[in-house]
C-alpha cells in the first residue's frame, strides 16, 4: 500500500526528525513511566508491533522484557536508523520498518500486541489506521497506547509558542481535530474510532506523569521541539535570540531550585482484537 500522510512524512523526515533524535535521551528519561505502562502489557513471547516507534526506546524495552520478536514502525528515516542502532547495541530481537502504519500491508494476524507511546495521533485517517492495525493483530490480541489529553490540561506544551507568537507571526495554528499532538484527546472520539475499526473491550484511563527536566534540557525543549523549535532555523539570529529569551522566561512558573517540572496529562488506552 502507498503512503498517504505526505505532510507528516515530510515533517518527520526533515529537521523535526533530526531534532527528535537529538532530544531523545531526555525524552526517553522523562517519559519512562509511560514506557513502563506499555511494556507491562506484553506477555512472554508476544509478537509486538510498536507504532510511531521513534528511536526505538519502547520497542527495545518491550523486546527485552517479553522475549518475543518486536517490530517498530515509523515514517522517519533518521529515527528508524537510530532505532536500528539502539536495538543492535541492546542485542534484542527487534526489527524496524520505515513505513506509514496507516497504509502498510502488514501480514494479517501477525502480532499479539500493538503498542504506541505518543505515536498514533499523527495519522491522516484515524479510522483507516486503526482498521489496518486491527487486521494486523491476532484474534484476542491487545492494543495499548498512550496519547495526550486536552490542550488545556497540558499548558507546558504550548507555553513556548504562546510566548513566541508576537515575534513569530507565521507560527502554524494547531488543528486539534487533525493529525497532531492532541488529535486523540477526545475520549468519545477515541472510543468511536476504535469501535468502528473492530476493536472491543475499549478502556480509557487518565494517566498523569510527573516529568522533571534540567534547565539545559528545557532549553533543548524550546529550541528543538514543537512549533517554535521547528521554526527557529528559519529566522534571523536577532529574532532567534529574542524568541529564546521570551520563551524561556515564560517557563518560569515551572522552574524551582534549578529543576523544571510539569505534568503530562495523558490517556492510557487499551482494547482487544
| CATH code, residues 6-150+176-209+265-272 | 3.40.50.150
Question: Would you kindly state where each structural domain of the chain is located, as residue ranges?
Answer: 6-150+176-209+265-272
pLDDT of residue 2: 43
Average pLDDT of 54-63? 95
pLDDT 10s digits, 225-273: 999 999 999 999 999 999 999 999 999 999 999 899 999 999 999 999 9
The answer on pLDDT for 4 being more than 90 is no
Cβ within 8 Å of residue 175, ≥6 positions away = none
The answer on pLDDT for 6 being more than 60 is yes
- Residues 66, 210: Cα–Cα separation, whole Å: 26
The H or E element containing residue 29 is helix 15-30
pLDDT of residue 15: 65
pLDDT 10s digits, 9-41: 776 676 666 777 788 888 999 999 999 999 999
pLDDT of residue 174: 87
Q: By the 8 A CB rule, do 199 and 135 touch?
A: no
pLDDT of residue 1: 38
- Residues 221, 212: Cα–Cα separation, whole Å: 12
- Residues 115, 146: Cα–Cα separation, whole Å: 8
Strand-pairing partners, residue 95, are: 71
pLDDT of residue 19: 76
For the chain, what is the mean pLDDT? 93
Note the pTM of the prediction, 2 decimals. 0.92
Average pLDDT of 156-174? 94
Instruction: Quote the cell numbers at residue 220.
Output: 533543548
- Residues 204, 271: Cα–Cα separation, whole Å: 9
pLDDT of residue 228: 95
Distance of CA 14 to the CA centre of its chain: 16
The answer on pLDDT for 215 being more than 60 is yes
Measure CA of the first residue to CA of the last residue in the chain; give whole Å: 22
Amino acid at each position: 500500500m502507498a503512503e498517504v500522510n505526505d505532510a507528516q512524512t515530510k515533517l518527520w523526515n526533515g529537521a523535526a526528525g533530526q531534532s527528535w533524535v537529538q532530544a531523545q535521551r531526555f525524552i526517553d528519561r522523562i517519559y519512562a513511566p509511560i514506557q513502563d505502562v506499555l511494556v507491562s502489557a506484553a506477555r512472554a513471547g508476544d509478537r509486538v508491533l510498536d507504532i510511531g516507534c521513534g528511536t526505538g526506546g519502547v520497542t527495545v524495552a518491550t523486546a527485552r522484557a517479553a522475549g518475543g520478536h518486536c517490530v517498530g514502525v515509523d515514517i522517519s528515516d533518521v529515527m528508524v536508523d537510530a532505532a536500528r542502532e539502539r536495538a543492535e547495541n541492546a542485542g534484542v530481537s527487534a526489527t524496524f520498518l520505515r513505513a506509514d502504519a496507516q497504509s502498510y500491508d502488514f501480514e494479517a494476524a501477525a502480532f499479539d500486541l500493538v503498542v504506541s507511546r505518543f505515536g498514533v495521533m499523527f495519522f491522516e485517517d484515524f479510522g483507516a489506521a486503526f482498521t489496518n492495525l486491527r487486521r494486523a493483530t491476532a484474534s484476542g490480541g491487545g492494543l495499548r497506547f498512550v496519547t495526550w489529553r486536552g490542550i488545556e490540561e497540558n499548558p507546558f506544551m504550548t507555553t513556548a509558542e504562546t510566548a513566541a507568537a508576537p515575534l513569530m507571526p507565521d507560527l502554524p495554528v494547531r488543528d486539534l481535530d487533525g493529525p497532531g499532538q492532541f488529535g486523540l484527546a477526545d475520549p468519545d472520539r477515541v472510543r468511536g474510532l476504535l469501535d468502528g475499526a473492530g476493536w472491543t473491550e475499549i478502556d480509557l484511563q487518565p494517566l498523569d506523569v510527573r516529568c522533571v527536566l534540567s534547565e539545559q534540557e528545557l532549553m533543548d525543549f524550546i529550541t528543538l521541539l514543537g512549533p517554535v523549535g521547528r521554526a527557529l532555523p528559519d529566522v534571523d539570529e536577532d529574532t532567534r535570540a529574542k524568541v529564546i529569551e521570551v520563551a524561556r522566561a515564560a517557563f518560569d512558573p515551572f522552574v524551582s531550585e534549578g529543576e523544571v517540572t510539569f505534568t503530562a496529562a495523558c490517556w492510557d488506552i487499551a482494547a482487544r482484537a
